[in-house]
Structure 1
Amino acid sequence: MSSSSFSLLFIAIFLVSFSQISLSLSSKFFLPSHNDNVEHVISPKKFPITMAEKFIRQLNLFPKHDINIVSSKENIFNNYEEKLFEKKLNLSYIGDSGSTVQDLGHHAGYFPLVHTKSARMFYFFFESRSNKNDPVVIWLTGGPGCSSELALFYENGPFKISDNMSLVWNDYGWDKVSNLIYVDQPTGTGFSYTSDESDIRHDETGVSNDLYDFLQAFFKAHPEYVKNDFYITGESYAGHYIPAFASRVHRGNKNKEGIHINLKGFAIGNGLTNPEIQYKAYTEYALDMKLIDQDDYDNINKLYPQCQKDIKLCANGSEDACLTGFSDCTGIFNRILDIAGNINYYDIRKTCQGSLCYDFSRMDTYLNDNQVKKSLGVPNDIDFVSCSSSVYQAMEMDWMKNLEVPIPPLLEDGINLLIYAGEYDLICNWLGNSNWVHAVQWSGKKGFGAAPSVPFTVDGEEKGIQKSYGPLTFLKVHDAGHMVPMDQPKAALEMLQRWTQGKLS
């Protein structure tokens, strides 16, 4: 097994092969691992769990449970009410928040998902350090099955966890320019839980409906934020979640369902959105970055036609093709790794030390502390599941779906879209993301294609290259891998602020 890494978003992380599947962080995260000897041998109905569990351990994450499914007789909350159960955080922070607001509103809570048997979604909410009229921004980490606390503590949250397990203010937390929400989803991830396995989601319809129900409850509990601009953000496998969620919110607004949500835009960082285009870009990116040579490029490209065929059949409803497509397509990625060797495929500038490419263990330790859980309003019987291989497996039929499909109607209605990508990420590389963005069929396609690429500068220093037309912006971020807010925190904060203020383009 070669070295593995994690991605939020993020950390929030994705693509791997039959032999490679595991979880990734990103928020955003795809969870891959690599084993040359088992490719195309593991049963598609069994492959994710074992590999995902191994990957989680290699990331120095050791959740006590694989998924938060509790016994119904435990009856953790006595009353199943269709409203938020929320409390203000009572945690100590080291340093100066940099805020002019004396009493910052930091909250955590649960929402009983109304269209489930017994699921409860956990979330954090941080009021802006600057102005409560700032936009409301929600962050979704990928996996599928990784907690958004990965981004909270290691990327763009208000604080980070120090060596002595204290919370230290993050000078570039996104709460400096927004009211910020992090959600543990799908059900079973992080502190979110259920007592009924039927509540575990398998597709974007279930995921987006749960998130929409949560938003309705959130704005009902916090009506002072209903008028604020609202943005959806995230990374990695959230490249699937976010378009579906944005479409669900937009549809709810049009149909006058519940509270009108002031959706202004959605942003995807190093995401997996259109597999057919993004898998094709692997070899070109690898060749450009000198991970493979021309002969390797020619040979590996012979694998793509079958991958493409599977994806098209998957889109037409073939479940078998969705599964075989995962194997056939990630075989392309595996072949590149065979040749490239011990690289961190979330940041190809780096190699992994032993089996660890990132160490997120402080988060597990901190969030499973009983006093911390008490402050968050988490029942003692619930443990923090940093990444769930069961949630990951439950979404296996969703991987090869094209989530670019719901995007054109959103663009046509003026909903802003920002796609950004760190230039040194292999697994959700900038080239594949750029290619699918240029291929989107909307009225501004020609205008976007003809638009100039211009520098993205922060304090006079070039931090990326951006391209914009109408509501669509693509930004390639310099000196960053899969988790842009972790690698380039100042530039990421500036990106968010300009974008939400309409100044990025």
Structure 2
Amino acid sequence: MACSLPFSKLSLLLLFASLSFSYATSRHPAFPPQSSKAERLIRSFNLFPKEPFNTIQELHHLHTFVPGQIVETNFSFLGASGPPVEDLGHHAGYYSLPHSKAARMFYFFFESRKNKNDPVVIWLTGGPGCGSELALFYENGPFHIINNLSLTWNDYGWDQASNIIFVDQPTGTGFSYSSDKSDIRPDETGVSNDLYDFLQAFFKAHPEFVKNDFYITGESYAGHYIPAIASLINQNNKKKQGIHINLKGFAIGNGLTNSPIQYEVYPEFALQNGLITKKEADDISKLIPDCDKTAKACESRGGKVCEDALDACEAIFDKLLSIVGDLNYYDIRKKCLGPLCYDYSNVEKLLNEEKVKSALGVGKGLKYVSCSRTVYDAMLQDTMKNLEVGIPGLLEDGIRFLAYAGEKDLICNWLGNLRWINAMNWSGQKGFEASPTVKFVVDGAESGTLNSHGPLSFLKVHDAGHMVPMDQPKVALEMLKRWMGGKLMNPTPDN
């Protein structure tokens, strides 16, 4: 149904049309050179924001802050072909977070290209502090952005099978902002509470979607966010608190969830993939006991010791990088070109055009911040927390969990993810460990390997790095459809 014809530059300036607005109430102070994972992230993506995050002191040109209010804009992407514009519901909006001083959360919402009764999916980008638009325009959104800032339809956008929400979170990420720095969240409690409040307001503003199945998805540091918000939704549903959110499952792609286990597996993964020698692996592994010791102290004591744990475990990764050199640690098949691995800078160019911002309801004083250093630094004590602890309860309640990972990713590799999943204590632990590894076939070709037991599935995706929907878009969409349809292990014949 979708086409791949690029929009012209003129069309881009006209691509947001027929606007209508609806309201519903409802330690590091700076990065040490080359040593911070956040710095590596931002440099790798070629993202150098002028501002660390959006904090606006004068808001006279914006809406007055009313806690719990949604201000949403309807817009249309106009193209020569593809689905009729009137059949596509494209929304962008701000939600004024009620448990904040002045924080507003920005989001995109794209209704399904096929059927509005399709599940509602929310996508959370990691970082922490990277905007959801990175996924929207380069991975699984309805459109891709190309070098002249024009757009093409994405034939494998997840709006082909779902009504999908992309959220800039936590506060300070992307277009989300506040006039008060105290609104920057330091932990998953604050992050999940804000997301839950947003979802309550979203479904209040869009009651026609309340009955739809609901799934939480995301990648990388979202391996922290997702278990936290899934647990909160499930708990409040059982308490019959707020609007019932029809949570059916959650999926984490190349996630960081149980950090200590995932750090400790780096030398093993690198050795298996021929990146280092056995002697080098043994040398790196000498750093594991200190990582393990400080991680346990973080778990029991919290606070500043969690930053010490991050430093101790990060030493493992840093030593590995000192050996592999210019390897792209998001995709070990590739080399970084100079100091950069990917160039996603076009998303900042596009979203900082005033006509685009205006059409999305974004004020002139705001700048799109792709990856926020402020948000990252605020979460330093969160990184080494083990967010796996909330998942067993979800599985016991029948909430489906899909962990998937591109096999060529180093930084959040499949081996580390499978290792913590196998170690997770739940009633189906032994059954999952004993589950057969089967081929995941798409269009007659083996595209990955799959293990499943009960509500838990793990998919290793072939020929993909950290961003699976970017590297293997058809496979990623097929994965989503089968998983939501309960047919991941046994697809229908036409799949």
Q: Same fold (TM over 0.5)?
A: yes
2:286 maps to amino acid: K
Which residue does 2:363 correspond to in 1? 379
Q: Is 1:225 equivalent to 2:209 in the alignment?
A: yes
Provide the C-alpha distance between the structure 2 equivalents of 1:372 and 1:326, rounded to a whole number of angstroms: 39
Provide the C-alpha distance between the structure 2 equivalents of 1:429 and 1:466, rounded to a whole number of angstroms: 16
2:448–2:461 CA contact under 8 A, matched in 1:
yes
| Compared CA separation, residues 454 and 53, structure 1 to 2 (3 A) | closer
Which residue does 2:279 correspond to in 1? 295
Provide the C-alpha distance between the structure 2 equivalents of 1:218 and 1:410, rounded to a whole number of angstroms: 23
Match of 1:330 among 314, 337, 352: 314
Which residue does 2:82 correspond to in 1? 96
Shift of 1:284: 0.8
Partner of 1:330, secondary structure, is helix
Partner of 1:417, secondary structure, is strand
Which residue does 1:87 correspond to in 2? 73
| Compared CA separation, residues 361 and 45, structure 1 to 2 (3 A) | closer
Provide the C-alpha distance between the structure 2 equivalents of 1:477 and 1:55, rounded to a whole number of angstroms: 22
Which residue does 2:3 correspond to in 1? none
Q: Is 1:45 equivalent to 2:31 in the alignment?
A: no
Shift of 1:89: 1.3
Instruction: Note the alpha carbon deviations across 1:443-481, whole angstroms, 9 max, x for none.
Output: 001111111000000011000000000000000000000
Provide the C-alpha distance between the structure 1 equivalents of 2:471 and 2:52, rounded to a whole number of angstroms: 29
CA RMSD of aligned residues (A): 1.6
Which residue does 1:113 correspond to in 2? 97
Provide the C-alpha distance between the structure 1 equivalents of 2:81 and 2:454, rounded to a whole number of angstroms: 41
Runs of 5+ consecutive residues of structure 2 not aligned to the other structure: 1-26, 490-495
Which residue does 1:23 correspond to in 2? none
1:96 maps to amino acid: G
1:94–1:166 CA contact under 8 A, matched in 2:
no
Alignment of 1:28-67 (within 5 A): 44-46=27-29, 48=31, 52=38, 56-57=42-43, 59-67=45-53
Which residue does 2:116 correspond to in 1? 132
Provide the C-alpha distance between the structure 1 equivalents of 2:81 and 2:293, rounded to a whole number of angstroms: 55
Instruction: Note the alpha carbon deviations across 1:209-266, whole angstroms, 9 max, x for none.
Output: 0000000000000000000000000000000000001001111111111100000000
Which residue does 2:219 correspond to in 1? 235
Provide the C-alpha distance between the structure 2 equivalents of 1:227 and 1:304, rounded to a whole number of angstroms: 48
2:342 maps to amino acid: Y
1:215 maps to amino acid: L
Match of 1:409 among 393, 397, 414: 393
Shift of 1:319: 2.1
Provide the C-alpha distance between the structure 2 equivalents of 1:57 and 1:291, rounded to a whole number of angstroms: 22
Aligned-pair identity in percent equals 62
Shift of 1:178: 0.2
Shift of 1:166: 1.8
1:314–1:322 CA contact under 8 A, matched in 2:
yes
2:207 maps to amino acid: P
Shift of 1:47: 5.4
Alignment of 1:355-366 (within 5 A): 355-366=339-350
Provide the C-alpha distance between the structure 2 equivalents of 1:281 and 1:58, rounded to a whole number of angstroms: 22
2:76–2:88 CA contact under 8 A, matched in 1:
no
2:362 maps to amino acid: V
Provide the C-alpha distance between the structure 1 equivalents of 2:299 and 2:41, rounded to a whole number of angstroms: 29
Which residue does 1:12 correspond to in 2? none
Provide the C-alpha distance between the structure 2 equivalents of 1:260 and 1:415, rounded to a whole number of angstroms: 15
Instruction: Note the alpha carbon deviations across 1:14-65, whole angstroms, 9 max, x for none.
Output: xxxxxxxxxxxxxxxxxxxxxxxxxxxxxx4345476546753553323232
| Compared CA separation, residues 476 and 88, structure 1 to 2 (3 A) | same
Provide the C-alpha distance between the structure 1 equivalents of 2:295 and 2:140, rounded to a whole number of angstroms: 34
2:209 maps to amino acid: Y
2:67–2:97 CA contact under 8 A, matched in 1:
no
2:43–2:340 CA contact under 8 A, matched in 1:
no
| Compared CA separation, residues 284 and 58, structure 1 to 2 (3 A) | closer
| Compared CA separation, residues 80 and 128, structure 1 to 2 (3 A) | same
Shift of 1:94: 5.7
Q: Is 1:500 equivalent to 2:475 in the alignment?
A: no
Provide the C-alpha distance between the structure 2 equivalents of 1:201 and 1:283, rounded to a whole number of angstroms: 33
Partner of 1:465, secondary structure, is strand
1:93–1:167 CA contact under 8 A, matched in 2:
no
Alignment of 1:343-354 (within 5 A): 343-354=327-338
Match of 1:216 among 190, 197, 200: 200
Which residue does 2:106 correspond to in 1? 122
Question: When the two structures are superposed, what TM-score results if normalisation uses the length of structure 2?
Answer: 0.90
Provide the C-alpha distance between the structure 2 equivalents of 1:125 and 1:73, rounded to a whole number of angstroms: 25
Provide the C-alpha distance between the structure 1 equivalents of 2:28 and 2:45, rounded to a whole number of angstroms: 24
